[in-house]
Every structure is written in C-alpha cells, then in structure tokens.
Amino acid sequence: MSNENSKLPEEIVEYQLEKYALELETDGLTIVPPEVTGISEEFIDACVEVLLAKFTEMTGCPISLANGPEAELEWPEGENNLLAGAGAPDPTQMLIQQLLQVDRHFRDLCVNPVVDALINLMMGELSFPSGRGIYSRAKNRRLSSTNSFIKWQGDYGYGENLGLHCDQGANPLPWGHTALTANATWCLTDYTEEDGALAYVPGSHKSNAHPGPTARNQAVPAVCPKGSVIVWPGSTWHGAYPKKTPGLRLNAVAYYRHQAVLPQENLSVTMKNEPWSDCDNPDLLKELIGFDDKFPYLEQTQSIPKVAAAS
C-alpha cells in the first residue's frame, strides 16, 4: 500500500491504517486491535459494567458476565420482538438502544479517530457549491444509531442461514462503491464462533447485491479478542452464530450512514438536550450527529429578496 499512500486520505496514512484499508477493499471487513485504536482494557471493562447495570434497570433481571441473565425472562409479544416468531423459542439476545444517552464511554467510542478515519474512507466527501463559484467539501459519514447486543447462551439464533444480510439493503440497487451505511462493532468480550461471533462472507461487498441461497456455506466467523473493533460497509453480507457457551457476548455498535441516507435514530432531535458535548471530541460528535447539516431543514434557509425602495 505504500505506493498508494498519496491516494489515501491523510488520516489513514497518519494513523498507519493502510493494512485495514486494504482489508476493507478486498474482504469487505477489517478487525482493528485495541493497541491501534488506543482503547484500554479498563475502558472496555467500564463499558461492560454500564451495560450490565442498564440491562438490570430495564428488565429487573440480575445479569453477570459469567452467567448471563440470572432469572427467567418473559418476552412480550408483538412486532417489536423481531427475534421471536410463532412457535419459536424465546430469544437469547436483547438490544439496548440509544447508547449515546447512556454513558460518556459510548460517546467517546464514537469519536475514536481511528474508526472515524476508516468510516470516512468508505463514505468519502461531498463537494457542493457555496456561492460565487466557491465549492465546499464535507465528510459524508453521520451516525445512524448506537446500540448494544446483549447475547447469552442458547441454541436459538438467526436460523440456519445465520441471518445473513446487508445493512444497506433498504436502499435501492445498484449501490456502487461508496458505502451507504457502515458498522463499527466494539467487542466488549472475546469473539469466537462458539461464543456467538459475527458471521460474514469475505468479498461479498463486491457483489453489490443481497445474499444468495448458498451464502451460508461461504460464511466465516470474525474472531478477535476483547477490545477489538470490527468495521465493515453496509454492502458486506453478515449475520451471527448462536452462542454455545455460558456467559455473555457483549458489544457496543456505532452504526453509520451516508448523510444522504435516512438515520435509524433521529439523533439531531433525541440528542439535542442530552450531554452530547461531554466526550473526547465534542466538535466531531456534533458533526456525526448532524446538528449543523443543511438537510432536513426546519425553516426557510435561502435568501428572500425585497422590493427595492423607490429612488
């Protein structure tokens, strides 16, 4: 990649991320270790403690990293229970949403400069006229949502096909090379196949299509130690393996969108009165939330001429 450095964004070269940039290009997924992102084990442990406490607050159920939920859970019926179908066993996973509001640690993960550089690499920049022949440039990546998948032991998962899908599948084809969505999954526990790791199909992003019927046979686990972050574009086929071992598989997911794509959470509204500025880089988080974006506007934004005074 050294001969290509001049074609890469400055931050990719600055943080020596050429290896990870190449893996995104060839495999459609890369795993960045904590020694590259600068995230400490103590930081990861603090994220775990926050999530365990939040789970208990939301469910009333005690939970531990070693044992998972320590009481029987009763799941509600309805369309919001996406993992449970008619006659299916109870889910062995719960989603905690809106992590930006939960704790500063998750806001700091979202402004990690290494991950931001890789997301920006996949989504690129936008050039637009700003008047009188002058063009401005802006980075396209924005946050779409922030969540945590709390996953424990059980045969139930996403089914035989591992739930393989594309995150940007709701967008019309053809997609092209620019990522319309992207995912940065921070692994708060070790990821192995037996522990319910992410499943993905290497090179599938190049198809610019949805997974086919044989995709399951091509899937491999994303294996990595606690503290790593898994990054991939929305065109990569991925899902997850069922967790066969005791305890929990935990993560914190920063899900990104191209600024032309509808977000999952309306962050510019939900975070307006939340402590978004309490993080390592408030200016970056403000940009990722989209507080200053031109669209969608709420009032007249363009100049309005008035009748000139009579001379």
d(CA 243, CA 2): 40
For strands 141-152 and 93-97, give the pairing: antiparallel
Beta bridge partners of 126: 138
Strand partners, 142: 257
pLDDT tens digits along 268-301: 999 999 999 999 999 999 999 999 998 888 887 7
| 198-200/238-240 β-pairing | antiparallel
Question: For residue 56, how many C-alpha atoms fall within 13 Å in the half-sphere facing its CB?
Answer: 12
Judged against a pLDDT cut of 70, whether residue 2 lies above it is answered with: no
Domains, the chain, in order of start with CATH, read 2-70+89-289 (2.60.120.620)
User: What is the average pLDDT across 252-258?
Assistant: 98
- Mean pLDDT of all residues in the chain? 91
Buried b (16+ CB within 10 A) or exposed e, 206-226: ebeeebeeebbebbebbebeb
Q: pLDDT at residue 31 above 60? A: yes
Confidence (pLDDT) at 63? 97
**Confidence at residue 87, expressed as pLDDT on a 0 to 100 scale:** 61
Q: What is the pTM of this model?
A: 0.92
Q: Which range among 152-156, 207-211, 295-299 has the greatest average pLDDT?
A: 207-211
Confidence of residue 304 (pLDDT cuts 50, 70, 90): confident
For residue 200, list its beta bridge partners: 220, 238
Segment among 70-79, 100-109, 250-259 with least mean pLDDT: 70-79
Q: Which of 82, 41, 90, 86 is nearest to 61 (CA)?
A: 90
Give yes or no for residue 24 having a pLDDT over 90. yes
How many CA atoms, within 13 angstroms, populate the side-chain half-sphere of residue 234? Answer: 24
What is the model's pLDDT at position 97? 97
Alpha helices (runs of H) in 4-153, residue ranges in sequence order: 10-14, 18-26, 34-37, 41-59, 99-102, 104-110, 113-123
